[in-house]
Amino acid sequence: MTLTRPVMPVKPSRLLLLGILFAGWAAAHAAFAAAAPADSVYRNGKIYTVDAQDSVREAIAIAGGRIVYVGSNAGVAAYVGPRTAVTDLAGRMLMPGLVDGHMHPLQGGSALLKCNLHYVHLTVAEMQKRIQACVDRDAAQGKELGPNDWLEVVNWFQEAMLPAGVVTNHATLDVLSTTRPILVESSFGHTALLNARALTLSGISAKTLDPAAGRIGRDATGAPTGILEDAAQDLATELLPVPTPADDLRSAGAALGEMRRQGITTFLDAMAVPPSIAAFAALQSQGKLSARAHFAVLITPADGAHPRAAVRKAKALAVQYDQGPLQADPQITVRNVKLFLDGVITAPALTGAMREPYFVSPSAAGAAHAPPDTAWVPGPSRGPDVYFPARTLRVLLAEIARAGLEPHMHVDGDRAVHEGLDGIESMRRRFPGRDIRAALAHDEIVDPTDFPRYAALNVIPVLSFQWEKRAPDTVDNAQAYLGPERYHYMEPAGFLAGAGARIAYGSDWPVDELDEWFALKVGVTRTNAPSAGPEYAGRLSDDPGLSRATVLRAITMNASYELHQDRETGSLEVGKFADLIVLDRDITSIPAEDIAATQVLQTVVGGRVVYQADQFPR
């Protein structure tokens, strides 16, 4: 007799569960079996994805320039083949590459090669000594320079001159031992200082009229002081030697080198002119473009008087240079238009367009730097008119949208912000449903009634976080002039975020030194470096600041959104380009002040390593 075990009946619910488990196992097995070996794998790290949940994973795999896996160490094993480059992160942080949504890279690269004051706080004597050293260096190098050969000096931190309130004019430069014309450019980009020789060559005298959207500094007699604001700078800069294509190529190469070290994998040139686009396009043709390059073509206020012609010129550059749908390898896009609506809100320029007047000292002496609790009173000036009149701006924005381009506008004062928002609102009404990603850059003073309009109109504030600290420009040269009510909202990143605005980041380099990690630290803490001194300790204004997750999203996903690149970059998700960086520390958990010291160990663009620090294992 054969003995048999009775078969136990299985409940339908158990059958269903077993089926689900088997199907899941089979699907996972099939996926692992189908996983082709990746080109490269990173494992055993903190992978900060910036996906919708800000997920943190252990490993990532890359093939063909795109991400093919994000997940666990165990899961990534299926993507490792005999030729896969495997990097053990040893717990280090890996995150998306940085997307800088507003900079001036050709100028930044060029500044690295010129007579450079390096944003240092200088006395007049120290400034003179540094410029004289540049004059002497040119002579020592045997350059044949005559009385008409210009010396261009860059990165002058005018607002931080010592002592506070010191006046500079052409006499500051006239004492130098040279007959050459000298032009010193403020790091903010809105002011230049000329010596007497440069004024003469530029044809600037007491009879010279201020240009539209610009101002010539004058003394009590009406004679030019040597200071030129905004468009008035063109009277001198048009006489500077025009850089050759070879010069521009060197400048573009130097700029990309700085970006690689910072971890920047995408940038927007926010004031693009043809030579800048041509230089980066030439590098790309040589296989040397190491970041995705976007360009916003400049339309000046003078050009804006003829909107259709101005937009046709911008569109022609887009047709010439834009390379279409994004690829894994970096390429050129020309899809934005840059408009300056005003200047800067800080003294001594005070060229930001304000809704209410700047304050002035009530004293007869009119002291430029009275303590902030002094009873300053509203003065006669609200700054210049917005550089594009309201009707002109509406027409221009409509033409930009009709051409399939997008506006990127400089706005510093609250009147410029307000009129910029009005212009975009008009554009939205004319083109309902169009995905036009309009941006307002800087937004240093915003009327609180305009805070909710950014979200309502889907306007992207592109902010330079490094300005959100106590410093000479935000304290000595702004606090008293703005008055307590406006100063309460100065650099309103946290207020804008609280109102639902989608904040993106832009360094505005070379207005400041390129230091993305210091900027991110300031975005969180709103404090300066300890080395700035006790007078600049503490937080700036009453703004609540931003969280770490918000500043990281601003410089990754939100800046990618600004540039219509969010489906391809900005987060580490399967299918996106492998644009990523490896850091020497976990910036999500260290003390916030330490974020500023972050070092990038490796920068990867489209799966290709474009920078690697010596201390990172190869």
Residue pLDDT, tens place only, 445-475? 999 999 999 999 999 999 999 999 999 889 9
Cis before 510 (ω within 30): yes
pLDDT value of position 60: 98
Whether residue 477 has pLDDT greater than 90: no
Tell me the pLDDT of the chain averaged across its residues.
91
Query: Residue 105 pLDDT more than 90?
Result: yes
Q: What is the pLDDT of residue 4?
A: 35
Reported as a single tens digit per residue, the pLDDT across 170-225 is 999 999 999 999 999 998 788 999 999 999 999 999 999 999 889 999 999 999 99
User: What pLDDT was estimated at residue 368?
Assistant: 46
pLDDT grade for 373, boundaries at 50, 70 and 90:
low
Average pLDDT of the segment spanning 117-134: 94
Question: Which residues neighbour 406 within 8 Å (Cβ) at sequence distance 6 or greater?
Answer: 335, 336, 337, 400, 436, 437, 438, 439
Residues 272-304 pLDDT 10s: 999 999 999 999 999 999 999 999 999 999 998
pLDDT of residue 21: 42
* C-alpha dihedral (264, 342, 171, 238), degrees to nearest 10: 70
For Cα atoms 190, 196, 200, give the angle at the middle one, nearest 5 degrees.
90
Stretch 579-595: mean pLDDT: 97
* Cα separation, 356 vs 374, whole angstroms: 19
Q: Say what percent of the chain tops pLDDT 70.
A: 92
What is the Cα–Cα distance from 117 to 123, expressed in whole angstroms?
12
Neighbours of 84 (CB within 10 A): 16
CB contact at 8 A, 286 and 583: no
Tens digits of per-residue pLDDT, 17-58?
444 444 443 344 334 445 799 999 999 999 999 999 999 999
User: Which residues 6+ apart lie within 8 Å of 463 measured at CB?
Assistant: 442, 443, 491, 493, 496, 503, 504, 505, 506, 523, 554
pTM of the full predicted structure? 0.85
| pLDDT on residue 386 | 97
Q: Which of 65-79, 371-385, 572-586 has the lowest mean pLDDT?
A: 371-385
Q: What is the pLDDT of residue 542?
A: 93
Structure confidence at residue 33 (pLDDT): 41
Q: Enter the DSSP assignment of 263.
A: T
What's the rounded mean pLDDT across residues 105-132?
A: 93
Average pLDDT over residues 504-525: 96
In this prediction, residues 331-349 reach a mean pLDDT of: 95
Pairing type for strands 151-156 and 115-116 reads parallel
| Letter string b/e over residues 426-451, b meaning 16 or more CB atoms within 10 A of that residue's CB | bbbeeeeeeebbbbbbbbbbbbeebb
- Give residue 143's pLDDT band: very low, low, confident or very high (50, 70, 90): confident
Tell me the CATH architecture of domain 95-573: Alpha-Beta Barrel (3.20)
At residue 374, the pLDDT reads 60
DSSP assignment, residue 327?
-
Answer whether residue 486 shows pLDDT above 90.
Answer: yes
